[in-house]
A and B are shown apart, each in its own frame.
Chain A
């Protein structure tokens, strides 16, 4: 699963730490998600999308192998 959290963060000018605080996880987790090392749960994915005010599919998208 890919995501464009990094781009959305840049648009909204939000740091990894801020985003982590808003969705209630550690900064490491946000970093792992951004670098595609960790696939978040549906709940966390929905929370992240809500912070950016976007639909889930605009932030997270399936890859060919999924």
Chain B
């Protein structure tokens, strides 16, 4: 099979590490020290923006690495599942995006949505299909 570019297998663990590391950092930002002086600053390199940038980067990079890491055996069926899951992720992303554009009067969430919905949905759908495949394999022995 023609080889397409994907990250090496181990990068999924690095990816999950980054995603997990991002969670407590975001909690600190929300409830901790930054909350007070964050309001009202418009400076591009003000603490809150820099912090948001770093945590968003951590999460997005993490999800990206997890989503596009190679499987142990990367064959044409895996590739097809990958493409199919990507198609579903784009569908879901745009359905949520369009619905929220119409019904929610706050555009700030759009970046957040676009950051994690497609990748997260892709990962969940991809892993679910592979899990089902493995299940049917073990059922048939």
Contacts and interface: CB of A to CB of B under 8 A. Distances in A.
Contacts of A24: 1, 75
A44 B78 CA distance: 14
B77 A32 contact: yes
Contacts of B134: 28
Contacts of A43: 1
A55 B133 CA distance: 29
Nearest to B75: A25
B36 interface: no
A13 to B, nearest CB: 16
Interface residues of A, number: 15
B80 A38 contact: yes
Contacts of B75: 24-26, 29
Contacts of B73: 25-26
B136 A29 contact: no
Contacts of A4: none
Nearest to B134: A28
A35 interface: yes
Contact of B76 (A27, A31, A35, A44): A44
Contacts of B77: 25-26, 28-29, 32, 38
